[in-house]
Structure 1
Amino acid sequence: MQQTQARVNIYALMSRILLQELDAKTLKMIKEDENILDFFPTLKEWKQLNEIDNTKLLEEYFNPDFVNLSILHLIPYESFYVREDQMVETGGANPVTDMYSAYNFMVDYEASRTVSSDHIGVEFEFMHHLCQAELKAMEDEDLESVKEIREVQREFLNKHLINWAPLYLINMKFEARTPLYYDAAEMALEFLLSDNEYLSQESK
C-alpha cells in the first residue's frame, strides 16, 4: 500500500508540473518539502532557488521555460508523435478517450488549458486517477480489483505513454533552460520506465 501511495503522489506531482505553469502555491510546496526536493537534485543545488523571490522565479525563470517547452518549441501531445501526419487529434477520435471514458475520467479542457486529451500532463493525471482507484481497492481489501486496475495501468502505459513520452521528455531535458524542468524531464522519464517494469513484474 505504501508503494501505491508513493506512485499516487509521483503521478500527481508530475502531472501538475507537466500540465501547466507553476503557481506560487506549487512552487512553495516544492521548495519547502525536502522529500519533493530530493526528486530535483539539480534544482536543489541551484543557488538562485533561495536567492530570488518566488514571484520573480515564476515570472522570469520557470514559467517562460514552461511556455518554451510546452507551447513554442515542443509539442506535448501523443497524437503528434504517433500519427504519420504529425497532427494533434483534438476530436473524439483520439484513442485515449475510450480508456478515459471506460474508467470515469473526465478531461477539464478549460482548467487544464489543453487542446487535446492526449497531452502528457493529462495522461499522467489519468495514471494518477488509476493509482488512486488501486489504493481504494487495497483499502477495501478487494484483491481482484487491485489486480484488474494494475493491468489497466500496464495497458495504458504500454499502449500510450511508453510509446511516445520518452521522446518528448528527452527533448524536454535537452531544451530546458531551468533546473526545474531539466530535473522534471529526467524524473518523469525514469519513473515511467521503472513503473512500467514494476507493473510488468506484478502481473506475472
Structure 2
Amino acid sequence: MDEIIARSNIYALLSRILLQELDNDILETLKNDPTVLEFFPHWESWEQRKNLPNKEILEEYLNPDFTNLSILHLVPYETFYTRSDQMIETGGANPVTDIYSAYDFLVDYEVARVVSSDHIGIEFEFMHHLCEAQKKALSENDTEAVLELKKEQHRFLNIHLLRWAPMYLINMKYEARTPLYYDAAETALEFILSDNETLSAEV
C-alpha cells in the first residue's frame, strides 16, 4: 500500500506542476515539504527559494518560466508529437478520449485551462486517477481489479506518455530558466521510465 500511495502522490504533484502556474499554497509545499524537496535538489539549494518572498518568486521567476515552457516555446500536448502534421487534436478524435471515459475520468477544461485532454499534466493526472483506483481496490482486497489497473497503467504509459513525454521533458529541462522546472522535468522523466520498469515486472 505504501508503494501505491507514493506513486499516486508523485503523479499528482508532477501533474500539478506541469499543468498550470503555481499559487502560494503549492509553492509553500514545494518550499517546505522535506519529501518533496528530495525530488528537487537544485530547487532545494536555490538561494532565491530561501530568501525571497513567495510573491516575488512566483511573479518574477516561476510563472514566467512556466509560460515559456508550456505556452510560448514548447508544446505540452501528445498529438503535437504523434501526428504527422503536428496539429493538436482538440476534439473527440483525440487518442486519450476513449480511455478517459472508460475509467470515468473527466477533464474540466475551464479549471485546467488546457486546449486538449492530451496535455502532459492531464495525462499525469490520469495516471494518478488510476493509482487511486488501484489503492481503493487494494484496500478492498480485490486482486483482480488491482491487476487490471496495473495493466492499464502499463498500457497507458506505453501507448501514450512514453511515446512523446520524454521528448517534451528533455526539451523542458534544457529550456528551463529556474531550478524548479529543471528538476520537475528531470524527475518526471526518470519517474515515468522507472515506473514503467516496475509495472513491466509486475504485469
Q: TM-score range, shorter-chain basis?
A: over 0.9
Q: C-alpha displacement at 1:64, in angstroms?
A: 0.2
Q: Secondary structure at the match of 2:105?
A: coil
The residue that corresponds to 2:162 in the other structure is: 162
Q: Please tell me the residue identity of whatever aligns with 1:55.
A: K
Alpha-carbon separation, structure 1, partners of 2:44 and 2:29 = 13
> Structure 1: 5+ residue runs without aligned partners?
none
| SS class of match (2:152) | helix
Q: How many residues align?
A: 203
Report the equivalent of 2:148: 148
- 1:187 aligned partner, one-letter code: T
Q: Which residue of 1 aligns with 2:116?
A: 116
How large is the Cα RMSD of the aligned pairs?
0.4
- State the Cα distance separating 1:6 from its structure 2 match: 0.3
What is the Cα deviation at residue 30 of structure 1?
1.1
Q: TM-score, normalised by structure 1?
A: 0.99
1:173 is aligned to 173
Aligned-residue sequence identity (percent) comes to: 66
Alpha-carbon distance in 1 for matches of 2:15, 2:6: 14
Partner of 1:81 in structure 2? 81
1:100 aligned residue: 100
**Distance apart, 1:32 and its partner CA:** 1.2
Give a deviation string over 1:23-75, Cα, whole Å, max 9, x none. Answer: 00000011111110111000011111111100000000000000000000000
Q: Which residue of 2 aligns with 1:44?
A: 44
Moved more, 26-35 or 176-185: 26-35
What is the one-letter code of the residue matched to 1:25? D
Counterpart CA distance in 1 for 2:171 and 2:112 is: 22
State how far apart, in whole Å, the 1-side matches of 2:30 and 2:66 are.
16
Q: Please, what TM-score do these two structures have when normalized by structure 2?
A: 0.99
Q: Deviations over 1:93-134 (max 9, x none)?
A: 001001000000000000000000000000000000000000
Q: Which runs of 4+ in 1 moved over 4 A?
A: none
| Amino acid in structure 1 at the alignment position of 2:50 | N
Q: Distance in 1 between matches of 2:148 and 2:43?
A: 38
